[in-house]
Amino acid sequence: MKKFICIVLTVVLALSCMSAFAAEPLSSQEVGTTAQESITPFWVNTLSIIPSISGSAGTYSCSINGVSGTTKISATLVLYEKGWLGGYTEVARTSNTTYSASFFKSDSYSFSSGKTYKLEVSGAVTRNGYAEPVSATIEQKI
C-alpha cells in the first residue's frame, strides 16, 4: 500500500511540474526588450519597410527598399482611426506599384488632434520571380 501511495504521489508531482512550464509566454519586459524596440523580420528580397504618420504635415506614407535585382514592389497602405471604445475604423486607403528596387507612396489625410491612428502596410517585393510578402504596422497619437 505504501508503495502504491508513493507511486501516485510521484505521478501527481511530475504532472504538476509539467503544467507549470505550460504557463503564458514571456512579456517583452521579461525577454529584455522595451516598447521602443522593434523586432526586424528577416526578408530575402527586402532591405526595409518604413511606414510613417505625420499629423503636422497631414500625410501618411511608406518607403520600401528591395535588394539589388528587385524588379517590382507593390503595397497597400490602410489608415485607421481609433474609436473611443478602442476599436479601429478604416478612414483612408491607397496603393501603388513600382517596377524598381525602391518604393514610396504618400497620401494626405485631415488628422484630428488627440486621436490615435494606425497605419498598416502590406505588399510584395519581387525578385527572380519570387514575390515576397511584406508588412508593417505603426500606431501614433496625433
Give DSSP secondary structure letters for 10-42: HHHHHHHHHHHTT-PPPPTTTTT--TT--PPPP
Residue 4, helix vs strand vs coil:
helix
| pLDDT tens sequence for the chain (142 residues) | 767 666 766 666 665 655 444 444 444 444 444 445 555 667 889 999 999 999 889 999 999 999 999 999 999 999 999 998 989 999 999 999 999 999 999 999 999 999 999 999 999 999 999 999 999 999 999 8
User: Cα(114)–Cα(36) distance, rounded to whole angstroms?
Assistant: 21
User: Cα(63)–Cα(75) distance, rounded to whole angstroms?
Assistant: 10
For the whole model, what pTM was predicted? 0.69
Comparing CA positions, the residue from 106, 127, 102 lying closest to residue 43 is: 127
Comparing CA positions, the residue from 56, 87, 76 lying closest to residue 137 is: 76
At residue 43, the pLDDT reads 80
pLDDT tens-place string over residues 5-21: 667 666 666 656 554 44
